[in-house]
Amino acid sequence: MDADELIESVIRAFMFMAGILGNSWLALISLPKQKSDIRTNEVLFINLAASNLITNYLVDLPDTTADFAGRWFLGEAFCGIFHFCADLSETSSLFTTLFISAFWHQKLVGSLKRGGAPVQLDSLRLVGCLLAGSWVLATTFSIPNFFFASVERTNGSHVDCVQVFPDPRSRRTYEITFLTVANALPLAGIVVASAQIVVTLLRIQRHKRSRRSPSANSQTDHRVRPQPSSSTATQRSHTSSPQARAAKSVVAVATVVLLCWLTHLLLRISSNIQASSLVVEVASYVASSYTSIIPYIFLHGVKKLSCSCKTVND
């Protein structure tokens, strides 16, 4: 192993360990103390952590081990599991992030309009159905990877775990369908929800500044003051509420998701146009960086998120 390969392997190992620690911590801190206390955001965080841990343990760990060994030595059966788990966890993680963005969009935007009333995604049954559907979709897209995985010799004696489709047309058809349904659509949903959250946060901030500015009628008799409307009182409460601070964490996550997965999406499209092992490797690193960064952003805001959710529901 030369110096460049050693540095790449060390970086991959660092991302793997950071992902294991962060996602395990996120899952543990999201576990409810009692079954009756479970909340929507806790279910979503646990599902996100579980999805990312699949990547950490069954994709990043064997890949990092193979890098240090200089070849794939885990056999053809685990090669199929490796590629199956890669797309399974990727799809589930993206859709879970979409549901988290939608949940906090409803909490901030929808709840603000309705004076703090419960939102649709407060329903554990609805969230459970959405998560189950995302796992079914992820499994469906990942099954071909198990059967089309193969261990091949490249560059002489080098053994690698690769995907071998029957023909280029079937590969392109699968990749286009997978990238559209399991990548582009959830990314678009995350962007739309996050953009509306940002607009609402800016509107709240602008309203806050306007209330602090001197009134044109400051000389009016202090005994005659208009009573604030219910919508104004609601906006005032949301100005400093944990919901607004929690939404900022979601926007931060959405930014990382957009940067990582848009890059990952473009790299995979590029690899389909012109096959390149380097592009595939870079795409893999981008996906790994996502699973190692995201849990720490949520961990920074998870206390605020939990407090916000409980405040609304209690």
- Is residue 272 within a helix (H) or strand (E), and if so which, with residue range? helix 242-273
* pLDDT over 60 at 302, yes or no: no
* pLDDT over 70 at 75, yes or no: yes
Rounded Cα distance, 99 and 97, in Å:
5
* Nearest of 285, 310, 288, 293 to residue 252 by alpha carbon: 293
Quote the Cα angle for 170-63-298, to 5°. 95
Rounded Cα distance, 42 and 44, in Å:
5
Average model confidence (pLDDT) across the chain: 76
pLDDT in tens, 268-278: 666 666 555 55
* pLDDT over 80 at 45, yes or no: yes
* pLDDT over 60 at 295, yes or no: yes
Q: How confident is the model at residue 238 (pLDDT cuts 50, 70, 90)?
A: very low
Better-scored residue on pLDDT, 26 or 301 = 26
Predicted TM-score (pTM) of the model is 0.78
* pLDDT over 60 at 138, yes or no: yes
Rounded Cα distance, 18 and 25, in Å:
11
Range of the domain at 26: 3-210+232-313
Contact 40, 106 (CB under 8 A): no
Percent of the chain with pLDDT over 90: 15
Within-domain flag for 278 = yes
Q: Is 150 helix (H, G, I), strand (E, B) or coil?
A: strand
* pLDDT over 90 at 92, yes or no: yes
Non-local CB neighbours of 134 within 8 Å, separated by 6+ positions: 91, 92, 95, 96, 99
Structure tokens given for 251: 């926007």
pLDDT in tens, 149-205: 888 776 656 678 888 888 888 888 888 888 888 888 888 898 888 888 888 777 777
Structure tokens given for 179: 């990238």
Within-domain flag for 12 = yes
Within-domain flag for 215 = no
Within-domain flag for 115 = yes
Within-domain flag for 217 = no
- The number of distinct structural domains making up the chain is 1
Contact 8, 282 (CB under 8 A): no
Non-local CB neighbours of 86 within 8 Å, separated by 6+ positions: 55, 59, 142, 145, 284, 287
Rounded Cα distance, 106 and 243, in Å:
10
Amino acid at the residue 213: S
Whichever domain contains 112, its CATH number is: 1.20.1070.10
Within-domain flag for 68 = yes
Within-domain flag for 225 = no
* Nearest of 152, 151, 153, 145 to residue 170 by alpha carbon: 145
Residue 125: phi, psi to the nearest 5? -65, -45
Within-domain flag for 105 = yes
